[in-house]
Amino acid sequence: SVAGKTAVVTGSNSGIGLGIARSFAAAGMKVVLNSYTDRKEDHALAEELAREHGTEVRYIAADLSDGEAARRLVSEAGSCDVLVNNAGIQHVAAIDEFPTDKWNAIIAINMSSAFHTTAVALPMMRAAGWGRVINIASAHGLTASPYKSAYVAAKHGVVGMTKVVALETAEEPITANAICPGYVMTPLVESQIPDTMRKYDMDRETAVRDVLLQRQPSKEFATTDQLGGTALFLCSDHAAQITGTTISVDGGWTAL
Ligand code: NAD
Residues 27-42 have pLDDT tens digits of: 999 999 999 999 999 9
14, 215, 250: residue to mutate for ligand 1 pocket, most atoms within 8 A of CB:
14
Cα 32 to Cα 6, 50, 78, 193, 222, distances in angstroms: 8, 11, 10, 30, 24
Ligand 1 centroid to residue 188 C-alpha, Å = 6
Domain ranges for the chain: 6-184+222-255
Q: pLDDT digit string (tens) for 86-144?
A: 999 999 999 999 999 999 999 999 999 999 999 999 999 999 999 999 999 999 999 99
What is the model's pLDDT at position 155?
Answer: 98
Indicate the range of 12-26, 61-75, 121-135, 189-203 predicted with least confidence. 189-203
Count of helix runs (H) and strand runs (E) in the chain: 10, 7
Task: Indicate the fold that domain 6-184+222-255 takes in CATH.
Answer: Rossmann fold (3.40.50)
Residue 1's pLDDT band, with cuts at 50, 70 and 90, is confident
Ligand 1 centroid to residue 187 C-alpha, Å = 8
Residue 228's pLDDT band, with cuts at 50, 70 and 90, is very high
Q: pLDDT digit string (tens) for 182-221?
A: 999 898 788 889 999 999 999 999 999 998 899 999 999 9
Sequence-ordered list of residues with C-beta below 8 angstroms from that of 54, at least 6 positions apart, any chain = none
Reply yes or no on whether 151 is catalytic: yes
Cα 17 to Cα 14, 109, 214, 240, distances in angstroms: 6, 14, 25, 22
Ligand 1 centroid to residue 171 C-alpha, Å = 31
Q: CA 93, CA 111: separation in Å to the nearest integer?
A: 19
SS3 state at 191: coil
pTM over 0.80: yes
With contact defined as beta carbons under 8 Å apart, do 12 and 18 qualify? yes
What's the chain's average pLDDT?
Answer: 97
| Residue 13 Cα to chain centre, angstroms | 12
Q: CA 13, CA 176: separation in Å to the nearest integer?
A: 23
SS3 state at 20: helix
- ipTM comes to 0.99
